[in-house]
Amino acid sequence: MLRQMEIIAEATTSLSDTFKTSHPTVPWRDIAGFRVQVAHRYWDTEWSEVEQTIIEDLPILRNAISSIERTDDQ
């Protein structure tokens, strides 16, 4: 699961600034920061925060991305 989250976070760093600016409700910087934390500073990671992210934040992100997809399809 953690690796998949890293991949998602890494992918957000490839999005254009224009795209990110046009979808300001998604915390793009926080998502990228999460990847840096678990990939490069894993010894200092609060695993309870990772668990909280999985339980609480991923469903919110999924809904936001779905909303973006629906908007872009119109």
In the residue annotation, 70 being an active-site residue is answered as no
Residue 54 CB neighbour total at 10 angstroms:
13
Catalytic residue among 35, 41, 62, 70: 35
Task: Report the alpha-carbon distance of residue 43 to residue 46 in Å, rounded.
Answer: 9
Task: Report the alpha-carbon distance of residue 50 to residue 41 in Å, rounded.
Answer: 13
Catalytic residue among 3, 40, 41, 70: 40
In the residue annotation, 35 being an active-site residue is answered as yes
- Residues that are catalytic: 35, 40
